[in-house]
Amino acid sequence: MRPFTPQYLRQTTQIFSKPAISGAYQARLFTQSTKMSTSDLKIESTNIKTASGVSLDDKQKTIVGSVLDLFAGRPSLEKLQLWSDEGVFEDPITVARGRKQYEAQWYGLQSAFSEIERLHHEVTSSGNPITMDLKTRYVVKGIGKEQTIASVIKIYLDSHGKIEKVEDKWDGKLPESGIANAFRRLNAVTVPHIISVPKNKEEDAKRGN
């Protein structure tokens, strides 16, 4: 989760147990998400900027728009059904594997920051991965810590068009040391015990999603 450690989370959020999403509801979301357009998913990031010579088809626009919404602290269960259940989110602070871990990371942004401002974005490649430059300003709730992060985002899709991996490379880099990676794995395991994920669409709506 960007751009803070679990210690920041503990300062800014109440500890919750993550409720389980019912299997029937999750299956229904999966079916609906394969048919939904950008407007159906209520994606807010629709004005997607691309580099010269780069174009996106409608499916790619939906994927990129949903990912931009996630980085802006605007998650929803429907948007996250665009992800594979085994998907991975990776940045210098975490390696979140599987739905339980990556959903908590995205909802954690909404819980932990009082301000999230996208300063710049540009899609630089429409291949697989889709590659995008992103610059975002964050302000942590309660303590007012402000940080601006410039990233290279890579979005990998599986054979079904689902998101199987998102890499968030701050300044174009991910850590390589064993110690850093151990802390990243610890973050991924810890956050789901701190951040609750809505059980259904009604709970999601109450959070303004």
Residue 119 lies in a domain: yes
- pLDDT of 6 > 90? The answer is no
Residue 2 CB coordination number (10 Å): 21
Q: Indicate the range of 14-23, 85-94, 100-109, 171-180 predicted with least confidence.
A: 14-23
- pLDDT of 17 > 70? The answer is no
Residue 148 lies in a domain: yes
pLDDT at residue 134, as a whole number: 98
Q: Which domain range does residue 93 map to?
A: 6-206
Average pLDDT over residues 5-29: 44
**pLDDT for 26-72, tens place per residue?**
445 444 544 555 667 889 999 999 999 999 999 999 999 999 999 99
Specify the pTM. 0.81
Residues pairing with 96 in the sheet = 89
Residues pairing with 166 in the sheet = 89, 155
Residue 1 lies in a domain: no
Token digits for 20? 């389980």
The answer to whether the peptide bond before residue 6 is cis (omega within 30 degrees of 0) is: no
Name the domain count of the chain. Answer: 1
47: CATH: 3.10.450.50
Residue 121 CB coordination number (10 Å): 22
pLDDT at residue 126, as a whole number: 97
Average pLDDT over residues 9-19: 40
pLDDT at residue 133, as a whole number: 98
| Pairwise CA distance, residues 101 & 115, whole Å | 23
pLDDT at residue 175, as a whole number: 85
Q: In this structure, what are the phi and psi dihedrals at residue 165, rounded to the nearest 5 degrees?
A: -165, 140
Amino acid identity, position 9: L
To 10 degrees, the CA torsion angle through 100, 102, 107, 110?
160
Residues pairing with 173 in the sheet = 170
**pLDDT for 145-204, tens place per residue?**
899 999 999 999 999 999 999 999 999 999 887 888 888 888 899 999 999 999 999 999
